[in-house]
A and B are shown apart, each in its own frame.
Chain A
């Protein structure tokens, strides 16, 4: 009966992985042990059989299918039907990435919402000692609002002396947004509050990955692109988002349903959608690990269905705010994000 070391010696010899000394030991073993000799012969036979098998030629269409998928070819209904299930998966994957991109937009929207809500709670904009705002009394021009007695944000949370923050708080775009009905209604939306208090959201907002993504040029390029905003505001996209088929697109069956979905086909033909899909910044963002994590976030999905959030997304004031350099700078600040999240959590209590 061969022991484990002897068996491994035989296998390694067959793989050509033995040292000269081990090979000598192998030769001695098979010379002295008929069982070892038989095993070695049989394993050599297996190896020879495996390695004798010729490689098959891949289907000629393989290369073209991949290239077509990468090029995002013209998607007439006929060509979509002809596409393989795989290609459909890819397209759906990109759709999901767009969805997630939208979720990220909501992420930044949430920061904005919290930012402005903090200002609302505490008085907006800071207009001297009487107005009251976030922060302690040791900051000139800043007092805690008398109508709000939660934990006071301190300079450890955010430096209100920061001129950028002060300017942002006085920004008329923010003011316009805050005064919009859509914004106020979103603020009282249960799904929004649930999301804001969720562990997943908290984790996301404080993650390195999120901040890296939010501060990336690619993200800002995409956010500022006409194509993105027009697509987000397009009826076809919204209708598609609301379809059950799309939401269940993880399974092949749902993808087949989606394939025949008229809205899906319409969206495929949408020039803006195509433009966005070929946007290099967008493609770069798709490979971000964060996308995958966000896709699992049920609350993001629920919030996306919220009509008010949609309204907010196409709100011109919000859009301008997003493109506002100050807001971008602020959104890169981990401290500030954390502080605003704290404020939002206090607000909902």
Chain B
């Protein structure tokens, strides 16, 4: 648990956009993992299995809350307070831009750029074809580029 909790929490944080939801999603993911440990097929990679739980739980949580934030809507992650340092500001800008993506696209970006998974590993976690991973990633990254450019202006 110690090995994965930080990563899973951060995946959930970037997926849900707030710390409380991320905590809930991470807890649920761990508990599901413990309860379903006997179902785990050792032929598959454990990290894929546990990350899948975290991503799915985050997606479920978002669905339940019907959180449909778009770039034009009010951001889920609040804008940085005056006087916040550069790092915090960059973090908030990224968070806001991420929340403007569709949850499925966001999952790909999060796994790619926060967990540093390969296309194949992301495909494994999300149980989608590699070509879908690439397509979602490229589209999402391009949207992020435009969103961040807009923020900068």
Contacts and interface: CB of A to CB of B under 8 A. Distances in A.
Interface stretch (A130-138, A183-191, A279-287, A318-326): A279-287
A54 B144 contact: no
A42 B145 contact: yes
Contacts of B128: none
A147 interface: no
Contacts, number: 103
Interface string B62-73: 001000000000
B28 to A, nearest CB: 6
Contacts of A82: none
B7 A53 contact: no
Contacts of A49: 90, 93-94, 148
Contact of B35 (A47, A87, A286): A286
Interface residues of B, number: 44
Contacts of B141: 11, 43, 46-47
B31 A46 contact: no
A45 B38 CA distance: 43
Given A55-B6, A58-B26, A46 B148 contact: yes
B50 interface: no
A47 B112 CA distance: 10
B31 A55 contact: no
B112 to A, nearest CB: 7
A50 B113 contact: yes
Contacts of A148: none
Contacts of A55: 6-7, 10, 114
Contact of B1 (A15, A50, A63, A87): A63
Interface string B5-39: 11101100100000100111011101100111011
A52 B86 CA distance: 11
A11 B113 CA distance: 13
Interface of A: 7-8, 11-12, 15, 17, 42-43, 45-47, 49-59, 62-63, 65-66, 69-70, 84-87, 89-90, 252, 283-284, 286-287
9 contacts: A15-B112, A43-B141, A43-B145, A46-B141, A51-B114, A52-B90, A66-B30, A86-B23, A86-B24
Interface of B: 1-2, 5-7, 9-10, 13, 19, 22-24, 26-28, 30-31, 34-36, 38-39, 64, 87, 90-91, 93-94, 109, 112-114, 116, 118-119, 134, 137-138, 141-142, 144-145, 148-149
